[in-house]
Structure formats: structure tokens, C-alpha cells
Structure 1
Amino acid sequence: MTELLQTYWPMLVAALVVGIVIAWYVFSASRKTRVTGTSKDVLDEGAAPAQRNKALIDAAPAATPMAPADGVPPTTPAAEPVPAKAAAPASGGDELTRIKGLGPKLAGTLRDMGVTSFAQIAAWDDAEIDRVDAQLGRFQGRIRRDDWVGQAKLLASGDEAGFTGKYGNTR
């Protein structure tokens, strides 16, 4: 063994030096953070607005109530707030909130899209479900998961017993 060390000691020293250099590089040199990008943060001075907010920035302002021409606000008493469940359906439409999984917010969204009756929902095919579902935002998937079309078919036909038997009472 001693003869081996005497013969190959230069190689052993070189291997030890190479090992130390590699260990230094792995443990020390790679821990330094280097900033190499030139992109600006949204909060930096003069930076462009974030792309995800671009639609909000470019959108028209929300409608605000018009003030009277004389500048004096009307003195009519404030109306009592009506609970969302007790609200009557909009002009000739059905009470869409009777469908399980379809609350007041979704009912308002559907009304904004022109859907006001159970018969309209009952007539949806897969393409129409996909089109409407894409506009429901965080409520996507509810139409199929809660079987709105099946519920709407029973409600549109007036089959209260069948609806209650399959989906329960929603009143």
C-alpha cells in the first residue's frame, strides 16, 4: 500500500484539488444571486401597465346615475331593500333560482345573456351549454354538474312532483 501511495501521490493530490474546486463551486459559487434581466416591474417608474389589467383600463366606465340638471338630488325616500330570494322574475321570465346550483348571481348573469325561462335552458344542446358555460367565470362546469337542463325540462313542463322527487324541494 505504501508503494502505491508513493507511486501515485501526484495523481491523488490532483484529484483532491479537483474535488475541492468542484465542492467550492457547488456550495459557494452557486449561492450568489445574479440579476441579469432588463425587464421592468409593473411598479417601476414608467413601466407599462400589466397586461391582465389592460382590459379593465381600456373598458368604458361603469354607468352612474345621472344627476338632475339643477344639481339638487331628488328627495324621494329610500326604498326598502328586497331580499334576493323574494325578488320577482324579470318581465315574464321564470324564477331561475329554483334550479339547484343556480343562485341569484348566476340568475342575473343568465338574464344579462337573455336567458329568462326554464324552456330556454331545457332546449340547450352541448354547443349551447359550452357557449354559456364559457361565460360563467368561476362557476364554469355548474351546468353539467348540477344538471340544469334536466331540472329545467321538469320545471318547464310543470312536473313539480317529478322535480321534487329527483332534485328535492327548492322553495
Structure 2
Amino acid sequence: MTELLQTYWPAVAIALVLGLVIAWYVFNASRRTRVTGTVKDVLDEGAAPAERNKALIDSAPAARQEPRPAAKAAAGGDDLTRIKGLGPKLAALLGDLGVTSFAQVAAWDDREIERIDAQLGRFQGRITRDDWVGQAKLLAAGDEGGFATKYGKLD
């Protein structure tokens, strides 16, 4: 083997250098090339900017619908979506379960939390993780300052 290398060492060296050159070319050729020229815009050539659509600008704003509280019951329910971590889907689900007020949520004990939590499907665990009972106690008492201090500003 050493005799073979001694005989053909120039060919091995040339092959090694050629392999390095090809590898360098392959790695550098795959990189994106930079654009170095200057690109002119139509506006640079003196064209006027497009005119604004005056009909849209001058028209009256579209009527805005106020969002309905999802869980507000017809007879004196609260907007349960004010509880952090309780969105419209959960409020509707709680409404189907008969829960419509902060006082009801504030009165939940561990057994009631487990019962309701088992019916929340993929939202299971949100009651304790987001402390709905603690939030509901403050909202039922009307203590928005205490709520903002502990859980953040109401939306």
C-alpha cells in the first residue's frame, strides 16, 4: 500500500485539491446571489402616484355592531367572558350547563369544580389554572379595583 502511495502521490494530491475546489463551488453556488444594481421605480421616472378612491374615503363608516355577551342570560345573567381565560365558547358551554352569573361561579366548591371541569372537554383544567372562582368572587362583589390589581385590567 505504501508503495502504491509513493508511486501515485501526485495523482492523489491533485484529486484531493480538485475535490476541495468542487466542494467549495457546490457550497458557494447554493447561496443566493445579491442584487447589486439599482432598481428604478415608476415614480422615479416622473409618474404621478395613484389617486385615492374618493368614494371610499368620503363614504360614511360602516355600521358597527356591538358584540353580544355570549353567556348573558335573558333574565339577569352576567357577562362571564369578563373572567380571564373564559372566552365566548366556554361562556356558551357554561350557559348550556346553567351557569350564567359570577355569583354561581364564586360559590363553586371542589366537588362542583370537578363536575363542571369534566364537562369542559378540551378546556378541562382551565377553572383551577385561571382561578375562575377567585375572579368571579371579585366580579360578583363589584370589586373591579381588586380584580385589576390581582388579575389585570378588565377588557
Distance in 2, Cα, partners of 1:153 & 1:146: 13
1:138 aligned partner: 122
Cα drift, residue 82 of structure 1: 5.2
2:138 aligned partner: 154
Cα drift, residue 170 of structure 1: 2.6
Distance in 2, Cα, partners of 1:98 & 1:81: 21
Deviations 1:131-170 (A, max 9, x none): 0000000000000000000000000000010000100113
Residue 148 of structure 2 aligns to a residue in which SS? helix
**Normalization by structure 2: what TM-score?**
0.55
1:104 aligned partner: 88
1:90 aligned partner: 73
2:111 aligned partner: 127
Distance 1:81 1:114, change over 3 A: farther
Give the unaligned 5+ runs of structure 2: 1-62
Residue 149 of structure 1 aligns to a residue in which SS? helix
Deviations 1:66-121 (A, max 9, x none): xxxxxxxxxxxxxx9956xx214221100000000000000000000000000000
**What letter is aligned with 1:96?**
L
Distance 1:165 1:114, change over 3 A: same
**Normalization by structure 1: what TM-score?**
0.50
Distance in 1, Cα, partners of 2:73 & 2:109: 24
Quote the sequence identity (%). 71
Q: Where has structure 1 moved over 3 Å in runs of 4 or more?
A: 80-83
Distance in 2, Cα, partners of 1:81 & 1:136: 32
